[in-house]
A and B are shown apart, each in its own frame.
Chain A
């Protein structure tokens, strides 16, 4: 599993509340990514990080923010959750120079 853990694994929340998802890695990889997985859309990149405090937007970043204050943790925050953000969220780490990614087990988020 490349030392990647996501928490929580499942969450149900209400519209308008803030939500933070955590991705933790144990192998000191520089690159980390957040995706959302939706039927018919595949995996879409939300944000990514290439080092501590270095982050950038992906394809579907609106309504999301991220932080990376330590190498091992990459946090995804939904500032004010909406029903359209109901999805499965995957974190991944990237092997530098190889363009290969290893994925976490995912977080299933339901926004009611």
Chain B
């Protein structure tokens, strides 16, 4: 069955420290992976998608098909990065656009 796992409910780091939010997925086909972010009192929004291979707000994520992972990384965390982060999987061949979300990880960046 298709599944997305984010093993950490809470990740707490100090400002300036590196950050890695883990995401593992289970899907036998060709996946498309996303990271969504929800800042306090704001709506959920797309942060990045693996096919774009871009860096947004200093965050990057690389799809590792061998390890079925899509970890989100940032070399130097900022306080404004504090938010809830969700990893999501789209079963690429689907034409309904459905996403499967992980449980979410709260990132807390301390001053």
Contact = CB atoms under 8 A, between A and B. Distances in A.
A48 interface: yes
Contacts of A104: 43
A31 interface: yes
Contacts of A48: 96, 98
Given A40-B9, A42-B86, A90-B44, A99 B97 contact: yes
B44 A31 contact: no
B99 A105 contact: no
A96 B43 contact: no
A56 B95 CA distance: 13
Contacts, number: 59
Given A40-B103, A48-B98, A106 B92 contact: no
Interface string A30-56: 010101000011111100101000001
A95 B86 contact: no
A99 B43 contact: no
Interface residues of B, number: 23
A43 B98 contact: no
A26 to B, nearest CB: 16
A103 B1 CA distance: 25
A24 B101 CA distance: 23
Interface of B: 4, 6, 9, 32, 34, 43-46, 49, 86, 90, 92, 94, 96-104
Given A35-B101, A100-B97, A103-B44, 10 more contacts: A40-B103, A42-B6, A42-B101, A43-B86, A45-B99, A50-B96, A56-B96, A95-B97, A101-B97, A103-B43
